[in-house]
Amino acid sequence: MKRAKIYIPSKTAMQSGRGKNKKWVLEFEIKDPSINPLMGWETSTDTLEEVNLKFPTKKQAIEYAEKNNISYKVIEPKKNKFVIKSYSDNFLKN
């Protein structure tokens, strides 16, 4: 049975905003990773590792996985704490 994970990717270091990080990704897990003896890279004979499917909602990604008999695990995004404070709060001692 194929295994996959469903998640929202985090922003890269080259991005300042989070505008394009709203799509859910279904990514297959590698079955048999091995080390390439020539270059030392991790390699696999499993071609599903190259497939990344993007969905607008988590529900659609889960429905696709269930319809195609794919076992999956959902990785929920972490909620960021955003503390609103004024510039003067940087100089006040608490």
Within a domain: 41:
yes
Within a domain: 15:
no
CA 10/CA 14 separation, integer angstroms: 11
Within a domain: 72:
yes
What is the amino acid identity at position 25? V
Mean pLDDT of 17-33: 80
When divided into structural domains, the chain yields a total of: 1
Considering only 2-6, 7-11, 16-20, 21-25, which range has the smallest mean pLDDT? 16-20
Going by C-alpha positions, the residue among 1, 2, 18 that lies closest to residue 51 is 2
CATH number at residue 73: 3.30.160
Does the pLDDT at position 50 exceed 90? no
Within a domain: 65:
yes
Within a domain: 68:
yes
Cβ–Cβ contacts within 10 Å for residue 44, how many? 14
Does the pLDDT at position 58 exceed 90? yes
Within a domain: 73:
yes
Determine the structural domain holding residue 6 and report its residue range.
Answer: 2-10+22-90
Q: What is the pTM of this model?
A: 0.69
Q: What's the mean pLDDT when you consider all of the chain?
A: 84
